[in-house]
Homo-oligomer: A and B are copies of this chain.
């Protein structure tokens, strides 16, 4: 649609696209407040989980499985926090969002990326909503490459 940002993504907007399935796209999130944070976005407009059809729901599970395994294998994540909120879009009188789900990997022990260690200071507790951004652009690129490599290997 003409006015929808997600329907009109540029190549630059897609630079952290990790995977595209029939119904969803998985991205490494721009906002790396938790190392490895990702976002899954439905390719069509859809305002709630209950409006996903059966094929989309099954497709979503393959992404859930792959993402958790990727975070565990690449980063050593102990668990992932999943949240489907959609709040921002409902500020509008005519909300017309793409369904999206945030994934925050959580780490009991500090994660090593490059030569830096990042600790998850709230491990065992609810994620902080307005946390600081942890990664430099180079670290983002490195993480994206590691994730991409993992996915390529898994989907071979």
Instruction: List chain A positions with a Cβ less than 8 A from chain B.
Output: 47-50, 52, 54, 57-58, 61, 64-65, 67-69, 78-88, 90-91, 106, 108, 123-127, 129
Contact = CB atoms under 8 A, between A and B. Distances in A.
Contacts of A91: 124
B85 A126 contact: yes
A68 B81 contact: no
B79 A81 contact: no
Chain A binding surface, main DSSP class: mixed
Copies in the complex: 2
Given A83-B83, A88-B124, A126-B85, A49 B64 contact: yes
Nearest to A88: B124
A87 B124 contact: yes
Interface centre among A78, A83, A108 (most CB of B within 10 A): A83
A148 B126 CA distance: 30
Contacts of A126: 85, 87, 129
30 contacts: A47-B79, A49-B64, A49-B68, A49-B80, A50-B67, A50-B68, A50-B69, A52-B61, A54-B61, A57-B57, A57-B58, A57-B61, A79-B87, A81-B83, A81-B86, A81-B87, A82-B82, A82-B83, A82-B84, A83-B83, A83-B85, A85-B126, A87-B124, A87-B125, A87-B126, A88-B124, A90-B106, A90-B108, A90-B123, A90-B124
